[in-house]
Structure 1
Amino acid sequence: MVKTALELDSLKQATEAMDGEYRPREDEEFMNPRQLEYFRKLLLQWKKSIIEEAEQVLAQLQDEPMREPDLADRASSETDWSIELRTRDRQRKLIAKIDAALRRIDEGEYGYCEVTGEPISLGRLQARPIATMTIEAQERHERQERVSRDD
């Protein structure tokens, strides 16, 4: 799955907020309490970053006039609103995925592939903390989707 610039920015902000703290290592027991706490903090920080950004943008949009006198300006404003609404929808879906990852942590399922049950690499979880499949399982899934679409 391709990450959007929005997703990358908000995850980068969350990771930077945790700078200087513990980082999971491959030589540790997989998903030990310290790793789980690290990913919980990362996911919560990511969610917070998304919500704060959404609140800032919403406040900014509310300050702008709704109706521009010039038709071109009005069309531009409506396009901006449309793009922003789509972005908010993507963020809402991303927050749902973050919440699902937090539930998996609580249930002891976080970090394990939902298809194979194998551990998801720490590198993948660092890059995409909401990952639910190993890279191999994700690639198989995407190939099957392409085949299904092409039929």
Structure 2
Amino acid sequence: MEQAQVEEFKKILESQLEQLLQEAGKTVSEMTDEGGNFPDPTDRASLESDRNFELRIRDRERRLIMKIRDALARIENGTFGTCECCEEPIGAARLKARPVTELCIDCKTEQERKEKIG
């Protein structure tokens, strides 16, 4: 992969990381600011449901943050864009669709097939 392409992916990943970290910060401040007293059980249940939903989203984003950091580390050590299974180059279209990917489409398809079976 050309260095210019790697730099483009690095910028994309850094931008995604910054955006996710900002959203996480907003969530923390919003949850600590919400201290309302809800005597109505329906209002309290609605608030708890909303918080649980928000926390599930943030947990998914936390895992994506870890994948982004791993991808940035692969850029730094020169292994970005190489499949961790077969060590072949990962297609540019796949990287554009999912820049945090560690597997080429063939290896990912095989992994999913095995997961479905077992």
Q: Is TM > 0.5 for Structure 1 vs Structure 2?
A: yes
Quote the Cα distance in structure 1 between the aligned partners of 2:33 and 2:80.
Answer: 41
Quote the Cα distance in structure 2 between the aligned partners of 1:79 and 1:120.
Answer: 40
What are the equivalent positions in structure 2 for 1:1-150 lying under 5 Å apart?
Answer: 31-148=1-118
In structure 1, list runs of 5 or more residues that go unmatched. Answer: 1-30
- What's the CA shift string for 1:69-91, capped at 9, x where partnerless? 11000011111111122222111
Quote the Cα distance in structure 2 between the aligned partners of 1:90 and 1:109.
Answer: 25
Quote the Cα distance in structure 2 between the aligned partners of 1:126 and 1:68.
Answer: 46
The Cα shift of 1:112 comes to: 1.0
Q: Secondary structure at the match of 1:131?
A: coil
Q: Relative to structure 2, which stretch is displaced further, 45-54 or 79-88?
A: 79-88
**TM-score where L is the length of structure 2:** 0.92
Question: More relative contact order in 1 or in 2 (CA 8 Å, sep 6+)?
Answer: 2
Cα–Cα, structure 1 residues 66 and 91, in superposed 2: closer, same or farther, change >3 Å? farther
The aligned residue for residue 7 of structure 1 is: none
* Aligned amino acid, residue 58 of structure 2: R
Quote the Cα distance in structure 2 between the aligned partners of 1:51 and 1:71.
Answer: 33
What CA RMSD, in Å, does the superposition of the two structures yield over aligned residues? Answer: 1.3
Identical aligned residues as a percent: 42
In structure 2, list runs of 5 or more residues that go unmatched. Answer: none
Quote the Cα distance in structure 1 between the aligned partners of 2:57 and 2:36.
Answer: 19
- What's the CA shift string for 1:81-126, capped at 9, x where partnerless? 1112222211111111001101111111100111111111111111
Quote the Cα distance in structure 2 between the aligned partners of 1:91 and 1:66.
Answer: 27
Where does structure 1 differ by over 6 angstroms across 4 or more consecutive aligned residues? none
**TM-score where L is the length of structure 1:** 0.73
Q: Secondary structure at the match of 1:130?
A: coil
Quote the Cα distance in structure 2 between the aligned partners of 1:133 and 1:99.
Answer: 16
